Homo-oligomer: A and B are copies of this chain.
Amino acid sequence: MRLTQFSDYAMRLLIYAAVHGDRLVTIEEVAGVYAISRGHLMKVANTLTRNDILRSVRGRSGGLALARPPVSIGLGEVLRLTEPDFALVECFGEDSTCRIMPSCRLRGILSGALGAFMAEIDRYTLKDLVLDPAAFGLDRPAA
């Protein structure tokens, strides 16, 4: 059972932005710090900007910052944006071909478990992830 790399990168980007407060951060900088793909990170940033979690400032000294205080960015809200679906098994999708679907109770049981997973995640916000910003050692890399 895995979350997508997209969700993983979204969390890393948000932590980085939260640690740096109002200072605008750049994709280049974040990709460099975590040693991850600039292209993938750009797509993640677009999704988060479109959904009012990050704000983007254009121009030469532009960059990204949180669009809202960390305490108002729920981790469940982020995951619901970044996970393409929560289709734990085939029959959660629209094109299920499993012939026992009408009578099978597995889907209901897995839905309940997924609900318990998300209820736990929904207890936390980005603020809980960066209680001690200095501990991250996420200084801006040397130019």
* Interface band, chain A: 35 or more
CB distance from A49 to the nearest CB of B (A): 21
A88 touches B15 (CB 8 A): no
Identify the stretch in A39-47, A57-65, A125-133 within 8 Å (CB) of chain B at 4 or more residues: A125-133
Q: Are B33 and A88 in contact (CB under 8 A)?
A: no
Check A128/B105 contact, CB under 8 A, given A113-B117, A119-B116, A121-B113.
yes
Q: How many copies does the complex hold?
A: 2
Majority DSSP secondary structure for residues of A touching B: helix
In Å, the complex CA distance between A88 and B113 comes to 15
A130: min CB distance to chain B, Å: 8
How far is B88's CA from A83's CA once the two chains are assembled, in angstroms? 12
